[in-house]
Every structure is written in C-alpha cells, then in structure tokens.
Amino acid sequence: MTMKRRQFLTTAALSTGALAMPGFLKYAHSAETVQVGALFSQTGGLSVVEKMLADAVQMAAAEINAAGGVLGKQIAVTVEDGASDPKTFAEKAQKLVIKDKVQTVFGCHTSASRKAVLPIFERRNAMLFYQTHYEGFECSRNVVYLGAVPNQQLGNYIPWIIETLGKKKFFIVGSNYVYPREMAKVSKSLIEAHGGEWVADEYLELGHSEWAVTVNKIKESGADVVLSNVVGDSIISFYREFKNQGLSQEQIPICATVTSEIEIAAMGPEYAAGSYTSFPYFMSLDLPSNTSFIERYRAYVNDPKAITYHSLEAAYFQVYLWKQAVEKAGDFTADAIREGVRGQTFDAPGGPVKVDPDNLHTWLTPRIGQWQADGQSKVVNEYPEPIKPLPYSAYGETADNLFCTAKGLDSSKL
C-alpha cells in the first residue's frame, strides 16, 4: 500500500530560523515551558551513537523554540543518561515519568532499552517516541515508532538481491538477540517466496570481535550473498575480517540491515565499498530538505564533518511530529498526544513521513544504498513513495489484514 506524495505532505513548513545555543534548553519547569525527556546513553558503549540522537532531539526543540514554541510554550528538554544499560534506562524512565511528571519522552535506541522502559510508560500512561528501526512484534498505545519495521527494510531488499544482483544462496549472520533473529525470520520467508535459499544462519554475541571462523564458514558454504543483521562494534570487525580473508563484495556481497554511515566511518570505507544496506534514509540523499538538515546539524554540533544517519534523522523529525500532534489536540497530555499524532505527516530530511493512524508506526520510503569508497552511499533502488508499516509482517500481517490497530493487538491472528 502506497500514498502519492501530493496527498501525503501537510502545509507545515520546516523552520529554518536561527538556532539557539543548547544552554537555552535548561529552563525550569514553569507556566512558560513544557518539559519533555530525552532518554539516551551519555556514557557506556552506546554513548557514541546515542549522544548524537540526544543532539538531534535538542536541535529540533531549539528550532521549534526559535520559531515560537508549541502552544505558546518553550520546550525544556531534560536529558537523562541510560548508561548503555537497560536497568538504568528503566530507572531514568521512572524518574522522568513519575518524579518529573513528564508526559512525553524521546528516547531509547535498542530494543532491550525500549522493552525495559515500556511497562513504565504503559502503567503511567506517558508517551515514548522511539526513533530506531526495530524487529516489529510490538503494538503499544504508549509508543510512537518512527523507525523502519521489517517490511520497510526487507520487503524490497530480498527480491532485489535475488532478481537484480542475481544472488540466490544466502548466508544469514547476526548478533544474538531479538532484532537479528526476527529479521532473519522475515528474510527466510521472503527468500523462499522469491526462489532463493538460505544455506546457513549464525548468531554471535553482542560485541563479538573474532570473525575468522564465521567468515571461513561463509567461504565454504557455497553462499553467494551474506545477509548481515550484525550490530554494534561487531560490524567493524566482521567487515574487516571479510576483506582480510580475500572475499570481495563483487563475489559475495554483504547486504546489511544495520550498517550505517557511523560504522562505515569507524571501520574505514575501503572495507565496505561495494556492499549494501537497506534504510529509509541515507546521508547522501540529494534532496533540498536533506542538504539543509545536514548543514544545520553540523552548525548545531559545531562540527563541519559531522555525519548524519537513519536513526538521527528520525530522532529529529519525531519532535516535529510531536509538536504537530500537540497543536492539533491543543493539549500536552499523553491521551491528547496519542490521538493527535495519528495520521500526522511531515516533510522530513529524507522525504515525507506519516504516523499510521492504526498502529502508531511510521510510513517510510524503502531504499537500498551501495557503499562507496568515500564512505557515502549511492542509492540504487527506492520506492516512489512511503509504504505502510506492518510490525507483524513476520507473522502474516498484511495491509488488508492488520494485527495491530488503534484498538490494540488482535492476538487471535498470531
């Protein structure tokens, strides 16, 4: 199911007003301000990425404040540190929602941290805006999901690999937790439906860095393509070992669902050149909205070489969708935001997005990028418009047979 662009965009324009300095966000909670939370790791192994997400939230708030705020109020962002630990995320979520009485929190980056905080938001009826692509299989009235779900990353990807690249024998490799395993489940179904086969799947612990054995298995498996759901630092060591063992991207391309501009820069572009990733957003997108976004983000963080990537873009535009929801509802409460955000659209840096009125997930445009020697991607395939998110596609959900709706999850369909 798709929607034409002219039907999709609202008349809301992106504010490009002068940015205030980050310090201006430190308002006391008062009648002139509305307090929101930004819950991201500021310390620990995930902090390198999650600090960027906190920056994107604060940048959007700064722009909105410079343009007059929301319902006459300035946004005050309270940043809490999840410390790369799900237990700490839960503690900080309790502080924000229970002690600080915050109605909206932008945050979490991993499924582990999201699942750790979810009971707090549901019990206390607060709203979490979650910007990272994830494995689906969740339907909460207290979460707005801004990242891609499997049908938006894999529905175009697997057929393209088989039909365009001519690769049919898949070796699936991933980190050992819920996201890679659920993505593999969807992939296997699509591979078989399009005449391919998966010759093996293997999962290694988060942070795993010794890839020699696995890469050798790939060489001996007869596979002609690798589907990678590897996450974190393991991506870097995997790609380096792949090249070091003499495998080429032309011979056996790595087709990833997680590898982004961040990991490419960290490993060195020469290790990934020729490989692919499926995302709704790439920094290389040649769109005026994206060019402006990159310039403004670099100015905000005072780094002329700062990198943007998919979750950072969503962390930014989610604040605007929240603003529009509040203005539609005329209220900052969770119940008002939940109803106000349904159907909201925005012209994001990567193109138009829309919050689905049924499941509170986001319509996004599937794209496939091939990594180049300069560390940027070349978009080699993209849908003409955003498509409907189906968080339960691995279990048979279709646009004509929804499992997750405004009424909640119909578990009888699982």
Structural domain containing residue 95? 5-149+284-365+387-413
Q: Are residues 198 and 241 in the same domain?
A: yes
Residue 29 has pLDDT above 80, yes or no: no
User: What pLDDT does 349 receive?
Assistant: 98
User: What pLDDT does 12 receive?
Assistant: 33
Question: Mean of the pLDDT values across residues 307-327?
Answer: 98
Q: Is residue 141, in this structure, part of any structural domain at all?
A: yes
Question: Helix/strand/coil (H, E, C) string of 132-143?
Answer: CCCCCCCCCCCE
pTM, full prediction: 0.90
User: What pLDDT does 8 receive?
Assistant: 38
Q: Are residues 112 and 188 in the same domain?
A: no
Q: Is residue 371, in this structure, part of any structural domain at all?
A: no
Q: Are residues 60 and 140 in the same domain?
A: yes
Q: Are residues 171 and 130 in the same domain?
A: no
- For residue range 111-137, list pLDDT tens digits in order: 999 999 999 999 999 999 999 999 999
Residue 62 has pLDDT above 70, yes or no: yes
User: What pLDDT does 31 receive?
Assistant: 60
Domain at 406, CATH number: 3.40.50.2300
Q: Are residues 52 and 92 in the same domain?
A: yes
Q: Are residues 9 and 144 in the same domain?
A: yes
Report the interhelical angle of 86-94 vs 111-124 (nearest 10°): 20
Give the number of domains in the chain. 2
Q: Are residues 134 and 159 in the same domain?
A: no
